[in-house]
Amino acid sequence: MISALLTAIFLSFFASAVILNYKIGRLLNLSFASIFTLGAYIYFSFNPTSALLLALIFGGIMGAIVSAATRKLSVAEATIISLGFSIAIEESLRFLYRTSYYQVMETNYVELFGEVVSIHEMLNGAMIVLLFLAFAAIPLSRRGFELKFVEDDWELAEMYGVDTSRIRFLTISISSSFICLSGAVLAPTQSLFPSMGWSSMVIAVIIAAIAALAGNAGLRKYGLTIPIAIAYTAVLRWLL
Amino acid sequence: MKKDFAIILALLLLPLLLRSSFIVSVATMAVVYSILSLSWFFMEKEAGWTSLVHSIPFGIAAYALAINPVLIIPAFLLSLLLFTALSLSGREKFVFTSFITAIVFWYFSHYITLSVNGGVVGGEEGFSFLSIGLWESYLLSSSMLLLFFTSFALIRKSGLGLKIEAVRDDEFAARSIGINAFKIRIVSFAISVFTATVAGVCYLLYFGHVSPEIFSVEIVLLPFVASLIAGNRWASPIIGSYIIVVVSRAFSGILPETHLLIYAAVLMLSPKLKRWWGASAY
Amino acid sequence: MLRADRVRVELNGRMILKDVTCYLERREIMLIAGPNGSGKSTLLKCIMGLMESKGRVFLDNVEITHLKPSERFKMGITLAPERLRVAKNLTVEENVSISGDFQEALEIFPELGPLAKKKAGKLSGGERQMVVLARALISKPKYLLLDEPFQGLHKDLRVRVVNMIYNLSKKCGVVVVTHDELDEIFLMSDKTCILVGGEVLYFGDSEGAEQLMREMFM
């Protein structure tokens, strides 16, 4: 139950990043799939502390490049370019590592509400929750109001003094940075292969699509990703 | 158009003149993918819908034929229904809803199994079917390619072609002159889906085996990339398919990721390529 | 002075604006008139930087052609767009607050008070237009571009808006694109620009345009 909840929080975080990029960046950022994978590979290539920092930096750089490459394009064109980036990262990882492997970390277990959970999973879960809260804080920040305006009508926001291209750039870069970091954080509990990010990506898009049916600007649709993700993981547990 | 036809004819005749089994096997693969790319190109250029879901009619047809040939018609209808449903979200969203649908389908295709004589077949392994042989496959696929290429040229000149183009250019204006835009959309989808279905049939008749890989991202993107790398003419998706097949064959031993890196580059440069080809057409 | 110099827009091989030049000083009103599809709104969008165009735009002798719309806004140009454009999922208060203090907006349109927490997408046409105008007016622009400011308004409000435009012209330059209340706006305007098919048919003092205006629009 607890690990399902942690998975749901991660998916909700991923879906929120997808929504934010769609609403502000005007693209379905498919590069997230490989940026997540990149984070996981960084974790296995460096020591944990520097890996987290590097994941944050590399994710941000990738996001900045995607943002710059998709400026002033239609949603469809920008989405296709982000898919190109995703494949480029994925194939580069395949070329560089040549192998996929499954890493089992040694860990201790604790009993929590009658359920045995690994400490590693708990720590990762806590980090993902922190990441999610940091992410949720963006719309609540001082710039949150402008963000809300850009979500609803970016041209109108631009007309009234909001630098929408800067907001777009920061949104894509920061969210990519967080996605890469989440890849690094979750790496010890995952099996690593170059296309590992796609399953999370596809589920996140589906959750985002259902949540976005709420249709309004503001926090509600991000909040909605949580119950949808919980419902998804519950259904999955029931099926399996 | 005559020039395009001549190029295709030359491409199709060349392996017959060289009479090498290796070249014919590569060419057959290229021709099958050319039919798929042509079906995609018709929907993109003629009807104005950029699809990333042509792997589904292509793959479903191959699966249907492998399981039971009677299923081909329901497979075609199912694909058409899917295209129509996805198109309800509009042209722009169609690009990514179609892509996500294709990926979801790829995942689920691993679970397509059948119980035969107490055992389970399908799943990761896929299904087998009797191949009709290399040369027969080549002749069949080539004939189909020529047939569809000619049919598309005729459709474009017909009243139906003009209606499809009118709906593509301005759906609202087309409706105002009495064209049933939705019906025309479905007709254009049906033409494209039918062509992709035939490509799937040719695929199975040649390879004699179909697995979930037929729904993979590579197949999803192949028509898009093939149509972009060789220009904006009607022969472009065919030439593009040949280039992809030849390049991936040539580098398969050295750097298997080559063609996917080409895919990535084409996708990243796609808006520029489109504008470039568009500008050079004038 | 706000000056559009040889502004040209081409869309899908069709010329929407052909080398349009016009200008106005602070504390002047310029009426842009013309039949539907003559490029009036497009010209305002070009001045605001919302459309790609050729030609140059100057604000107080500083070239602003390469500036983004947000930067032009900060330099003192405000556009109140046509078609009752509001951020539909935001409240009235949020819609207006993007450009200034909501209390100031209430001084201009007290009618907006009870609507403050209502989603702008649920407003009537007239209420939306008040939001559009209030948002533009409280931004304290040097030059205000009004695109169809009377759309959706009933007679009493139209009169108020006409007076508002007149009062505004004591503080800033006002460019008005309108089909409604043409007589009143023309009478108070200092300059008139008549566009036909994307070309300037007349640009100059309004007195000189009287005959043409009567023949074409009044």
Tens digit of pLDDT for each residue in B74-127? 999 999 999 999 999 888 889 888 988 998 899 889 988 888 877 888 888 889
- How many structural domains does chain A have? 1
Angle at C183 between CA C179 and CA C184, to 5 degrees: 105
Which residues 186-215 in chain A show a CB within 8 A of chain B? 198-199, 202, 205-206
Provide CB contacts within 8 A for B139, sequence distance 6+.
none
Which residue carries 């879960």 as its tokens? A125
pLDDT beyond 60 at B280: no
Residues of B in contact with A74 (CB under 8 A): 92
Per-residue pLDDT tens digits for C163-197: 888 888 888 888 888 877 777 778 888 888 888 88
Interface check for A74 against chain C (CB to CB < 8 A): the answer is no
Band of residue C52 on the pLDDT scale cut at 50, 70, 90: confident
Q: How far apart are the first and last CA of chain B?
A: 15
Residues of C in contact with A165 (CB under 8 A): 68
Provide CB contacts within 8 A for B87, sequence distance 6+.
B49, B94, B185, B189
- How many structural domains does chain B have? 1
Residue B32 lies in a domain: yes
Band of residue B282 on the pLDDT scale cut at 50, 70, 90: very low
Give average pLDDT by consecutive 10-residue segment, chain A, 240 residues.
77 88 90 94 86 93 95 89 93 79 60 73 75 72 78 88 90 93 85 87 88 67 80 78
Q: Tokens representing B194?
A: 């039918």
Which residue carries 């204006």 as its tokens? B173
Per-residue pLDDT tens digits for C120-139: 888 888 888 889 989 988 88
Chain C, nearest residue to A166 by Cα: C70
Domain that holds residue C131: 2-216
Backbone angles phi, psi at C151, to 5 degrees: -60, 125
Residue C218: the pLDDT is: 65
Which residue carries 């590569």 as its tokens? B26
Interface check for B147 against chain A (CB to CB < 8 A): the answer is no
- How many structural domains does chain C have? 1
Q: Is B48 exposed, middle or buried (0-12, 13-18, 19+ CB in 10 A)?
A: middle
Band of residue C15 on the pLDDT scale cut at 50, 70, 90: confident
The β-bridge partners of B81 are none
Residue A42: the pLDDT is: 92
Provide CB contacts within 8 A for C110, sequence distance 6+.
none
Residues of A in contact with B221 (CB under 8 A): 83, 87
Per-residue pLDDT tens digits for A151-197: 888 888 999 888 889 989 999 999 999 999 989 888 887 788 888 89
Interface check for A71 against chain C (CB to CB < 8 A): the answer is no
Chain A, nearest residue to C72 by Cα: A161
Interface check for A91 against chain C (CB to CB < 8 A): the answer is no
Provide CB contacts within 8 A for B81, sequence distance 6+.
none
How does the average pLDDT of chain B come out, rounded? 90
Shortest CA gap C106–chain A (Å): 19
Shortest CA gap A139–chain C (Å): 14
Q: What is the pLDDT averaged over residues B7-14? A: 89
Shortest CA gap C2–chain A (Å): 17
Domain that holds residue B98: 2-216
Q: Is A83 exposed, middle or buried (0-12, 13-18, 19+ CB in 10 A)?
A: buried
For B211, the 3-state DSSP assignment is: coil
Residue B265 lies in a domain: no
Residue B41: the pLDDT is: 95
What percent of chain B has a predicted confidence (pLDDT) above 70? 99
A140-157 in b/e form (b: 16+ CB < 10 A) is eeeeebbbbbbbbbbebb
Interface check for C94 against chain A (CB to CB < 8 A): the answer is yes
Q: What is the pLDDT averaged over residues C6-16? A: 84
Residue A104: the pLDDT is: 53
For B51, the 3-state DSSP assignment is: coil
Residue A68: the pLDDT is: 94
**CA-CA distance, B267 to B223, in Å (whole number)?**
12
Provide CB contacts within 8 A for A11, sequence distance 6+.
A200, A203, A204, A207, A225, A229, A232, A233
The alpha carbons of chain A give a radius of gyration, in whole angstroms, of 18
Q: What is the pLDDT averaged over residues C112-116? A: 85
Chain B, nearest residue to A27 by Cα: B96
What CATH number is given to the structural domain containing C141? 3.40.50.300
Q: Which of B3, B279, B2, B16 is nearest to B142 (CA)?
A: B16
Nearest by CB to B261, from A28, A88, A206: name it: A88
The β-bridge partners of C199 are C196
Residue B256 lies in a domain: no
Contacts A–B by Cβ distance under 8 A: 71
